[in-house]
Amino acid sequence: MAKNPFACGECHLVLADGVDQCSRCPSAQVSSDWQGYVIIMNPERSEIAKRLNVEHSGKYALKVNTR
């Protein structure tokens, strides 16, 4: 069974396999407990990117649970 990659608790970026710290938010908590998945290719033209406050293209979780 594949392990869920980590996602940043602050910017919601889904991190690459084996990475456990967000390069954009180094002090933020990361979690493997997240839901939903969206790929933002052109944040300037994306309504979803605007709602998620995403400024950079990438893979993002819609909801990240940090405890």
Domain segments of the chain as ranges: 7-64
Provide the CATH topology of domain 7-64.
Rubrerythrin, domain 2 (2.20.28)
Helices (H), 1-67: 47-52
Confidence at residue 4, expressed as pLDDT on a 0 to 100 scale: 84
Q: How confident is the model over 35-54, as a mean pLDDT?
A: 94
User: Which pair of tokens denotes residue 35?
Assistant: 């839901």
pTM for this structure?
Answer: 0.87
Confidence at residue 3, expressed as pLDDT on a 0 to 100 scale: 76
Distances from the Cα of 11 to the Cα of 1, 2, 39, angstroms = 27, 23, 14
User: Which pair of tokens denotes residue 11?
Assistant: 């910017």
